[in-house]
Amino acid sequence: MKKRTSIADKIWFVILAICSVAWVYPIFMILINSFKVDTAISTDSVFTLPTAEIFAGLANYLNAIDSKGFLQSLIYSLFITVSSVVAILFFCSMCAWYIVRVNTWFTKLLYFLFAFSMVVPFQMVMFTLSQTADKLKLNTPWNIWVIYLGFGAGLAVFMFTGFVKSVPVEIEEAALIDGCNPLQTYFQIVFPMLKPTMVSVGILEAMWVWNDYLLPTLVLDIKKYKTIPMLIQYFRGSYGRVEMGPMMACIMLTVIPIIIVYILGQKHIIKGVAAGAVKG
């Protein structure tokens, strides 16, 4: 196909450029406002740039980190996300491989249940789940990953089985004949082959766990532990006047790491999303 830069393409380029400026504007707006003095932020002055008198520097950021417990929330969120994703990748890939390679009524039922769990809305189980979590003492940031493993299993198993089906059995059979037991076969032969799918599943599950609001709110004790989405909601939901300055600083502190991770791993993230959708 011949390459051409027609006038139409140039016009589209300009339109897309304008659109993408508009697309990032909301984030830019919050960034600007997070540098204003708290008292200078009102509903109708959001679009104005900060002037010398109302420029607050990093005061809002320091306030958010210092007195609003942002760092603590960051640690909880990080720990929950990492532990959950690691658990999901490790256990679900094993389970998915078994489901594909062994054909019994149990694995068929399991596969159906996993697929089913992806469609069921969270409200269906939220009350009973939070009570179960309390009873089993799964209500701290250190072991909430068990619940995330159960809840994230649907998508993960679904994507892993999709990939395992395309892997020829012969290599694994050869390993078994050579005297590997199934665990060795799995970890030395299959596990390395699953890497690309691991990246996709990992990205999708991490996006979900990191941003999840309702599940940690219901399961964790909100007075003791707040993840980042819980912290931001708490800002708004608490009594009295909302401190807009620190709140916007908090939003930026949440958004900036995401943007950095996104820029660094852009290729993988976009590929992961596309792969996840094709399997879904």
Partner 1 sequence: MEKALKRYGFVFTIPTFAAFFIGFIMPFIQGLYLSFCQFTTVDNAKWNGLENYIKVFQDESFLSAFGFTVSFAVVSVVSINVLAFGLALLLTREIKGTNFFRTIFFMPNLIGGIVLGYIWQILINCVLSLVEQPLLKLNSAAGYWGLIILMCWQQVGYMMIIYIAGLQNIPEDVLEAARVDGANSIQTLIKVKLPMVMSSITVCVFLTLTNSFKLFDQNLALTAGEPAHSTEMLALNIYQTFYARAGAQWKGLGQAKAVVFCIVVIAISMLQLNATRKKEVQS
Among positions 49-78, residues that touch partner 1 (CB under 8 A) are none
> Binding segment for partner 1 among 52-60, 62-70, 191-199, 211-219 (CB under 8 A)?
211-219
C-beta closer to partner 1: residue 19 or 52: 19
Is residue 102 within 8 Å of residue 164, measured between CB atoms? no
HSE-up (13 A, CA, CB side) for residue 146: 13
131 binds partner 1 (CB under 8 A): yes
Binding mask 7-36 for partner 1 (x = CB under 8 A): --x--xx--xx-xx--xx-xx-xx--x---
Q: In the complex, what is the shortest distance from the CB of residue 34 to partner 1, in angstroms, rounded to a whole number?
A: 11
178 binds partner 1 (CB under 8 A): no
Residue 187 per-residue DSSP state? I
Q: In the complex, what is the shortest distance from the CB of residue 144 to partner 1, in angstroms, rounded to a whole number?
A: 10
Please give the structure tokens belonging to residue 20. 């993408």
Please give the Cα distance from 94 to 46 (Å, whole number): 51
C-beta closer to partner 1: residue 122 or 142: 122
Helices (H), the chain: 7-33, 59-66, 70-101, 105-119, 126-135, 145-164, 170-177, 182-185, 191-193, 195-211, 214-219, 228-237, 244-264, 266-279
Binding mask 233-262 for partner 1 (x = CB under 8 A): x--x-------x--xx--x--xx--xx--x
C-beta closer to partner 1: residue 55 or 187: 187
Strand partners, 55: 36
Exposure b/e, 61-87, CB count within 10 A at least 16 = b: bebbbeebebeebbebbeebbebbbeb
210 binds partner 1 (CB under 8 A): yes
C-beta closer to partner 1: residue 11 or 62: 11
Please give the Cα distance from 183 to 234 (Å, whole number): 46
C-beta closer to partner 1: residue 55 or 127: 127
Is residue 234 within 8 Å of residue 226, measured between CB atoms? yes
Q: In the complex, what is the shortest distance from the CB of residue 194 to partner 1, in angstroms, rounded to a whole number?
A: 14
C-beta closer to partner 1: residue 4 or 195: 4
Q: Judged by CB under 8 A, which of 56, 64, 94, 220 binds partner 1?
A: 94
Q: Judged by CB under 8 A, which of 196, 213, 222, 264 binds partner 1?
A: 213
Please give the Cα distance from 159 to 164 (Å, whole number): 9
Q: In the complex, what is the shortest distance from the CB of residue 135 to partner 1, in angstroms, rounded to a whole number?
A: 8
Please give the structure tokens belonging to residue 245. 């300055």
Q: Map the footprint of partner 1 across residues 137-176, applying CB under 8 A.
A: 138, 146-151, 153-154, 157, 169, 172-173, 176
